[in-house]
Structure 1
Amino acid sequence: MKPVSISLSAAAIFLAAMQFACASPATASAAAPSEVRVLDAALPDTPLKVTLTRPDWTYRVGEPAAFLVKVDRNPYPAEGVRIRYRLGPDMLEGAERTAIVPRDGLVLPVPAQTQPGFVRCLVKADLDGKPYQGIATAAFSPLELRPVQSEPADFDRFWAAQRRDLAAIAPAFRLTPAPALSTGEVEVSYLSFQNVGPGSRTTRIYGVLSVPRGAGPFPAVLQVPGAGVRGYKGTPELAAKGFITLQLGIHGIPVDLPDELYEQLNYGALDGYNRFNLDNPATYYYRRVYLGALRALDYLAQHPKWNGRHLVAQGGSQGGQLAIMASALDPRVSLTIASYPAYSDVTGYLHGRAGGWPGLFRTDEAGVRQDQPVESKVATSAYYDTANFARRLRAPVLYYAGYNDMVTPPTSTFAVYNVIPSARSLVVEPQQAHFTSQGHRDTQERWLLEHAAGRR
């Protein structure tokens, strides 16, 4: 993976961001100018290839675009290769159609776009008895997307009240040494602490703390997890480079249990946890999760080896959601690293476009709107939507997104990125799905090291 810094399309994205930011006083105050980098990701090694007429897959609204479908076969069938494809807005690609791909390839024009957004082409073919799938997604003025999620008038008062509830509970931090995970350079421990629970009861949150053995002081990184239920072993490899790291679990379950238990919880008692009590913001499942992440920052900020200056919130998918939330609610955070954040603009499907994971309010194949009754759930979601936290960020943000992401769709993640008011840098990997490439992992580590050294 190598950064592309001089392509005309990449420059066009940056210019579009700058022009939009300067378009009017109202929008200029809503978001900061954008530093954009485009990573050139290699296409999968498959005989079915779907690309676009521009190498970075990015266009302005109103510009013509087309998908290019090619099949590598030798000898090539004289009758061509039959494909099945869907083409339309991301996550709303429409009904399946068929076409024949000739030897020189097939051009599928994109309908003229009048609004910012993403158009995706999903292609399937059976070749030599094996099924193949190709995917490409065109972006149209992506830095002009804005959220459709509402913002409650009492959003800040609501979260101030939740934080008071958390402060009323003694943290009762508890460390248990984990010698099997420790190294000569890093001491690893299991950490747990008290958190809010239902009603007047309390719960505990669990994680893995990795601390360099040197005297310090060190920067600290809170690492919040993607969706699901799993165990954790910490990140001693990053701690060995001079960072206190706290890898957090969110479900109130110890993080060193047998894998089978997490698997059973993932598909059993905790299946669909992101919708538990969605009718009430005061009891919604994520309330305890969000407050637990804030208490994790409290722990790092009181650690005797913390340098008192550099406190980072980092995560991808659900972790990106939590990193942005924690950074918005805790002014001590000095850097936010968020990759394809979940729970972004989740009411999108009510407005005819993609909403963020977990796909709230989608219409199923029978045409039935999910997550009924909608009104109460929409009201709750507004207090937890990443978009409303993004508007409150103060620290610099490193943000990552891929156009082919079908878990946290780009329509949702770009809408969130575009309202961040603090200094922000966007790394785009157009071909990437819901995955962090090695190229971006290297970018994140470089940012952390530069941040800790005061070069950011």
Structure 2
Amino acid sequence: MAQFDMPLSDLEAYAPEIDEPADFDEFWSTTLAEARTFDEAPRVERIDVGLTEVVVDDVTFPGFGGHPVKAWLTRPAHVDGDLPVVVEYEGYGGGRGLPHEKIHWAAAGYAHLRMDTRGQGSGWGTGGDTPDPVGSGPATPGFMTRGVLDPHDHYYRRVFTDGARAVDAVRAVPGLDPQRVAVSGGSQGGGITIAVAGLVPDVVAAMPDVPFLSHYRRAVSITDNLPYGEITRFLSVYRDPAVEAQVWRTFSYLDGVSFARRARSAGLFSVALMDATCPPSTVYAAFNNWAPDQAEPVVKEMDVYPYNNHEGGGDYRFPRKLAWLGKII
């Protein structure tokens, strides 16, 4: 795959106006207020996975609709005092996996919550444990068009709410510092990271890698790759212009560009210039709209991988994130 999107100099200036509904803030404030009426404390159960320097808890917290959402919480053993926290969201089709798989944040002195994604976990990795009990109208296979004819019904309304509630959950766990919570994730997890930073703007940092779920119209117009291709497939079947208008109205409530405008935290992004799954212009659309009009400009940085597709920086990202977050948190 060659570099197919805009030249880098154009990407760095690309800050498009998008179709944002007038009631965007009301829609999401009402959504979160409804979710927070299910205010039971997260259930935290210590499990033995045979590790001596890291402890693991099986966490269940109420997400959208009070539905139980699972997560793994890892943290260093033998540590006193409240720990900073990294809440991580998974890529498309993946789940929280096994409890011993991601212990690098705990090994670095952080608490790490790895949130399961409702209804996912069977596409790659080692599985998930959180069902999505909500049904859907007509949809193409995948998650992008589940409930696509009404923003109240859309799958990502539930997932983004789960992501915000994951931050609420760690802030209620003893031994974790509620003032030092960062959010992170790649691809779908990067899109959830951006959404949560907009919905819970007092997180201290957001680290989205090759993020998905921003500038949907642009993505659909320049890539055939899934998952954005699920939208194309749906609209190729439902040809009625009224249906198309409703689809784009729904996605206007879910666009990472709008969430980026409401973020207030420091941000460390990454982009791959050969990425045909999450095109670079969609990533820069969110980055260039990140936390505008602050009295004091926030720290925001973009790491660019010119020769990579959707794998982006891969495992090169962790040392970079660790060093960057250490200066922020």
Per the normalisation by structure 2, the TM-score is 0.83
SS of 1:336's equivalent in the other structure is strand
Render the CA deviation track for 1:11-54: whole Å, top value 9, x for unaligned: xxxxxxxxxxxxxxxxxxxxxxxxxxxxxxxxxxxxxxx98xxx
Within the candidate set 291, 307, 310, 1:434 is matched to 310
Mapped contact 1:229–1:251 kept (Cα < 8 A): no
Render the CA deviation track for 1:334-384: whole Å, top value 9, x for unaligned: 00101111011001267x5459973268667xxx74665211110010111
SS of 2:228's equivalent in the other structure is coil
Amino acid at match of 1:210: T
Distance in structure 2 (CA, Å) of the matches to 1:385 and 1:251: 19
Within the candidate set 218, 227, 230, 2:92 is matched to 227
Distance 1:223 1:261, change over 3 A: closer
Within the candidate set 206, 223, 233, 2:70 is matched to 206
1:324 corresponding residue in structure 2: 194
Distance in structure 2 (CA, Å) of the matches to 1:341 and 1:287: 17
Distance in structure 1 (CA, Å) of the matches to 2:308 and 2:70: 32
SS of 1:238's equivalent in the other structure is helix
Matched, 1:282 2:152: yes
Q: Which structure carries more helix by proportion?
A: 2
Amino acid at match of 2:161: L
Distance 1:216 1:155, change over 3 A: same
Identity over aligned residues, as a percent? 24
Distance in structure 2 (CA, Å) of the matches to 1:343 and 1:253: 16
1:18 corresponding residue in structure 2: none
Distance in structure 2 (CA, Å) of the matches to 1:363 and 1:318: 18
Unaligned runs of 5+ in 1: 1-49, 52-56, 58-89, 91-116, 119-137
Mapped contact 1:188–1:236 kept (Cα < 8 A): no
SS of 2:185's equivalent in the other structure is strand
SS of 2:80's equivalent in the other structure is coil
Mapped contact 2:88–2:114 kept (Cα < 8 A): yes
Amino acid at match of 2:286: V
2:10 corresponding residue in structure 1: 141
Distance 1:398 1:274, change over 3 A: same
Q: Which structure carries more strand by proportion?
A: 1
Within the candidate set 212, 235, 250, 2:117 is matched to 250
Matched residues, number: 305
Within the candidate set 183, 187, 191, 2:55 is matched to 187
Distance in structure 2 (CA, Å) of the matches to 1:387 and 1:287: 15
Distance 1:371 1:212, change over 3 A: farther
Larger Rg: 1
Distance 1:259 1:226, change over 3 A: closer
Distance in structure 2 (CA, Å) of the matches to 1:166 and 1:261: 22
Within the candidate set 142, 145, 164, 2:33 is matched to 164
2:227 corresponding residue in structure 1: 358
Per the normalisation by structure 1, the TM-score is 0.61
Higher mean C-alpha deviation, range 211-220 or range 381-390: 211-220
Mapped contact 2:85–2:182 kept (Cα < 8 A): yes
Mapped contact 1:207–1:249 kept (Cα < 8 A): yes
Matched, 1:173 2:49: no
1:447 corresponding residue in structure 2: 324
Q: Which has the higher contact order (CA 8 A, sep 6+)?
A: 2
Amino acid at match of 1:179: D
Render the CA deviation track for 1:185-205: whole Å, top value 9, x for unaligned: 2210111122234xxxx4211
Superposition deviation, residue 172 in structure 1:
4.5
1:413 corresponding residue in structure 2: 283
Matches within 5 A, 1:70-89: none
Distance in structure 2 (CA, Å) of the matches to 1:416 and 1:320: 11
Within the candidate set 364, 383, 388, 2:253 is matched to 383
Amino acid at match of 1:147: P
1:151 corresponding residue in structure 2: 20
Superposition deviation, residue 283 in structure 1:
1.2
Distance in structure 2 (CA, Å) of the matches to 1:206 and 1:277: 23
Matched, 1:424 2:292: no
Distance in structure 1 (CA, Å) of the matches to 2:55 and 2:307: 39
